[in-house]
Every structure is written in structure tokens, then in C-alpha cells.
Structure 1
Amino acid sequence: MDGTRPAGDELLKIAVEVARQAAETARRMRADGVSGVTTKSTATDVVTAADRAVEREAVATLRAARPGDAVLGEEYGGADGTGPTGGAGVRWILDPIDGTVNYLYGLPHYAVSLAAEVDGEVVAGVVRNAVTGDEWTAIRGGGAYRAGQRLRSSTETDLGKALVATGFGYDPARRAHQAGVLAELIPHIRDIRRFGVASIDLCLAAEGSVDAYYEKGLNLWDHAAGGLIATESGLLVDGLAGAGPGPDLVIAAPPALFGPLHDHLDRLDAAGGP
């Protein structure tokens, strides 16, 4: 490769092809039965043979399409590369099956999430629900889309009427802290929803199916693609006190809701605990 910075639409085209293939592999393997189930950080944090197989397949496809790029995957870390070697500064950020517990139980909410980062900035992303085929995409500066329709986030301005999505960690002490935060927050919002897939949560917020979303403990592969989709739909995506979205906290909300939700989460120490 010649080192020319690739366009977002070029990278998105590759991302969509890879995500669709990966989602079909995940769906097919689930239909054949879950196997190779082990655990990671805790006894409830599961990983399956499909997580590993889907990531290997997706990485191989990315390598074939753009052999000089780096890949950051959930199951194998930096794959077999330590950084971009083609001079274009591209890194792919992959979650092969986001929502593995849903996958394990046969719930129809798990996704392939794939983002393309150029020189440290996410410029393209796709999230595909492997069961339903629902697919959300975005290019930085080019908007977010689902099934050809441009996404517009919620127009709700009253936090008390906001439906808010969230998620919980696998460590029991972290879940206890998060439950305490939620117990104090819920009187100030309409209600809560918990689907178990951070990437889809961000996309649901992007399309206005929920009004806002927050969660502690996300890794980059959990929110890289969904975060871009949310941003391009008009949501503010950040952490507490301008810290940026990351493991401490990710908040995605319309501008009118972001401040009030942020302030409640800050007061409740949502980024604290284990």
C-alpha cells in the first residue's frame, strides 16, 4: 500500500462485508449448538468456540483485504500484528460476538461490531445483529444509517420521561455498585432497559428506540462502532467530566438530556466502585 489515508466509505464497505460474513458464521454455529464454553474474568463471563472462530475468520478476511492494517480483537487482542504496517495508520476494532451470554442462552440479541480507526480516530463502523440481520452503519461526518434510513436520535428533552438503557459487569462487587447507582437513578427517569449488548444499546439510542444509554466497564471493541453510530445520529457520547468514553463510563444521550443524566451519574459515582 502507498500510505494514502483511506476514505471512510472505502473502509465501511470492507467492514460491512466482514461483519455480514462473521454474523452468518456466528448464527450458523449457534444453530449447530454452543460448544467450547469457557470463562474469562469471572465464572459468569463466558467465551465460546464461536467467539474465537468468528474472530479468526474476520481477521483473516481483513488481512486479505488490507494486509498492512492492525487488528484489535476481543478474544486475541492485537491478533498477529502490533500495529499498522502499511503506512495508512488503519486499525480495525472487532468484537466478534457482543452479547455472548445472550448467544449462550439463545436470546436473539447478539452482534458483530467492527470499526475502522485511522490515525487514532474511528472513521467507520458497523454493528450487525446476527439473529435478525438488523444492521447499523456510520461514516464520520457522513451520518448514521439503518436499512438505508438516516438515523436521528431521540428529541426528548425531559430526563424524567427518558427511557435509558444500561448494562452490568460480570464481577459481583461491580454489579452491586451498579445496582446501587441504578436504584438511585431510576426515580429520575421514565424507566430502564437492559439488553445485554453494548453495541446494540448504542445503536438503539442512535435510532431513538431508547432515549439514552450509559455503562461502566466497556472496552474499546464494545463501543468503537456503536459510539460512532450514536455520535453520527446526533447523540453526545462521552464519559464523566469530559474524560472521554472509556472503561470508567460511556454516556450517550441527546444534548438536552446529556447534562442532567451526566450530573446524576456523577453524583452517584457511576464511574466508581470496583
Structure 2
Amino acid sequence: MPGAGATPEELLEIAVTVARGAAATASQMRAEGVSPVATKSTATDVVTAADRAVEQEVVAELRRLRPADRVLGEEFGAGGGEADPSAGTGAVRWVVDPIDGTVNYLYGLPQYAVSLAAERDGIVVAGVVVNGATGDEWTATAGGGAYRAGRRLTGSSETDLAQSLVATGFGYDAGRRAHQAGVLAGLISQVRDIRRFGAAALDLCLAAEGLVDAYYEKGLQPWDLAAGGLIAQEAGLRVDGLAGAPAGPDMVLAAPPALFTPLHDRLARLDAAGGP
């Protein structure tokens, strides 16, 4: 397999192979029934045995193929499942969300995905998002564009915020949800409509594809953003936070250049990056 100097394209090839296998495992485990279910930050923030099993599968495959690399996963942090947390010292770090959209997965809704990205020296250079329910797949490499099913993605051509379909999501903390509901109440009359699919990685891919015009959300973690954020950027979207801040836990806003500023300004006035 490609060594330490692997190109983004070579890293993407690995990511796609690993993510497809992980998505198949998630789909099979869903068909067999979801159990057991535990909670994380709040009673509504669920994690299933499949989340943990899929992440362990991804980590095991990555360490088999590229043992010097580091791995950051949602469920096990830098430890990567049951492997030695100190394993991997290379410049490449993989960032994995084994099942983005766990609540959808729990309920059998077809919006959940495996998200896998490769960072080199802290910069995401390759990423893939695979919808485990449908097999839909989005990919990108830094400087190489974003694609779905061989078609290069260019985002939405909409230029009027009032005619824009905007995707968003909500946190699990009750106080944060209340603040986000206030933001939404102030925004909804300024746009065509709002969509909430429940999987940030897929939201970013839908924005990249132009199936929604823009996306924003507070509370995203690196594994939520890494692959989908690169895909959105490579589709020509601007992916940032508010008031000059980078995209991160306080806010992720992904929109075509024509929509970014008006949506940014409205969200800033609504204090979308504030609250709990």
C-alpha cells in the first residue's frame, strides 16, 4: 500500500475501500436489529453496538493498511477501539465517524453514513461519505474536486437567500436546542424553507451537490466535519464559522459564495454561534 508520501488520490482510494466495507457492516447490523443502545452526553444522545463495532472495523483496516498512521474516531477518540492509544505516529491522521446519524439508524431512517477523512499535517486532503442505507457515495481530494457517481459537484447556483433551501441540525443538550430553535425561528421567514435530515456529513454532501442550497449548524466535532467539509469546499462552497472564525464547534456554515454573506450576516444577528 502507499507509504508515508502517499498522494491525496492514493489516500482517497484507501478511504473509499475502508468506508464501503464499514457501510456494508453497518447496514447488515441494522438489518439484524439495533442493540444494545446506550447514551452519551444526554439521554437523547444515543450510541449503538454498531457504532462501536464499525469504528473498530475501520481502525483495524487502517492499521493493517497503514500502521504508522494515527486515527481519531468518534466513539474511541484517539484510541481507535481496542487498539493501543499510542499506536501511530505518522503525519497522516484518519478521522472517522462510524455512523453519522445514529438516531436515524436507530429508527431505521435511511439517512446515516460512514464518514472517513485523511489529514496530512492537520489539513484534510481526502474524504469520503457513504450513505449506509442507500450506498450513495461522495468523495473529494484537496485541489482535485468533489464527486458523486463520477459527476463533479459544483453546489447550488441559487443567489437569493429568500429562495434558498437551508439544511441545519440540532444538538442534544436541551439548553442548546432551545437557543437553536430561537435562531431557526428568526431565520425561517428569510429563506425558502428549512430541512433537518439528522446527519451532518450528509447535509454537507447535499449542499455540495446542490440538493440543498446551504447548511449551517452549531456543535459539530472533527469527525462530523472532516470528510463532508472537504467535499463541500471542493464543490466550490465556502465553509467557515461566523465573524472570521474557522468552521468548528461554534459554527459551521457551508454555502456558495453568493449565499454565504447574506446567510452569515443573518445568523450573526441571531447569535447562532452563541448560547450553550
TM-score normalised over the length of structure 1:
0.97
User: Contact 2:2–2:10 at 8 Å: present in 1 too?
Assistant: no
Residue number in structure 2 paired with 1:156: 158
Which of 206, 209, 213 in structure 2 is aligned with 1:207?
209
CA distance in 2, matches of 1:82, 1:262: 40
Residue number in structure 1 paired with 2:242: 240
Deviations 1:63-99 (A, max 9, x none): 000000000000000023447424xx00000000000
Q: In the alignment, residue 54 of structure 1 is paired with which amino acid?
A: V
1:15 to 2:15 alignment: yes
Q: What displacement does 1:242 show?
A: 1.6
* Partner secondary structure for residue 17 of structure 1: helix
User: Contact 1:71–1:81 at 8 Å: present in 2 too?
Assistant: no
* Partner secondary structure for residue 242 of structure 1: coil
CA distance in 2, matches of 1:209, 1:254: 12
Residue number in structure 1 paired with 2:187: 185
TM-score normalised over the length of structure 2:
0.96
Equivalent residue runs for 1:245-260 within 5 Å: 245-260=247-262
User: Contact 2:67–2:88 at 8 Å: present in 1 too?
Assistant: no
Equivalent residue runs for 1:34-113 within 5 Å: 34-78=34-78, 79=80, 80-82=84-86, 84-86=88-90, 89-113=91-115
* Partner secondary structure for residue 170 of structure 2: coil
Residue number in structure 1 paired with 2:173: 171
Q: What displacement does 1:219 show?
A: 0.3
Which consecutive unaligned segments of at least 5 residues does structure 2 have?
A: none
User: Contact 2:113–2:130 at 8 Å: present in 1 too?
Assistant: yes
Q: In the alignment, residue 68 of structure 1 is paired with which amino acid?
A: A
Residue number in structure 2 paired with 1:221: 223
Q: In the alignment, residue 6 of structure 1 is paired with which amino acid?
A: A
User: Contact 1:70–1:81 at 8 Å: present in 2 too?
Assistant: no
User: Contact 2:3–2:66 at 8 Å: present in 1 too?
Assistant: no
Q: In the alignment, residue 109 of structure 1 is paired with which amino acid?
A: Q
Aligned length: 272
Q: What displacement does 1:150 show?
A: 0.5
Residue number in structure 2 paired with 1:146: 148
Deviations 1:103-148 (A, max 9, x none): 0000011000000000010000000000100000000000000001
CA distance in 2, matches of 1:124, 1:239: 21
* Partner secondary structure for residue 243 of structure 2: helix
Q: What displacement does 1:152 show?
A: 1.1
Q: In the alignment, residue 139 of structure 1 is paired with which amino acid?
A: T
User: Contact 2:155–2:210 at 8 Å: present in 1 too?
Assistant: yes
CA distance in 1, matches of 2:247, 2:87: 22
Q: In the alignment, residue 43 of structure 1 is paired with which amino acid?
A: A
User: Contact 2:117–2:227 at 8 Å: present in 1 too?
Assistant: yes
Q: CA RMSD in A?
A: 1.3
| Cα distance change of structure 1 residues 147 and 181 upon mapping to structure 2, 3 Å threshold | same
Q: In the alignment, residue 170 of structure 1 is paired with which amino acid?
A: Y
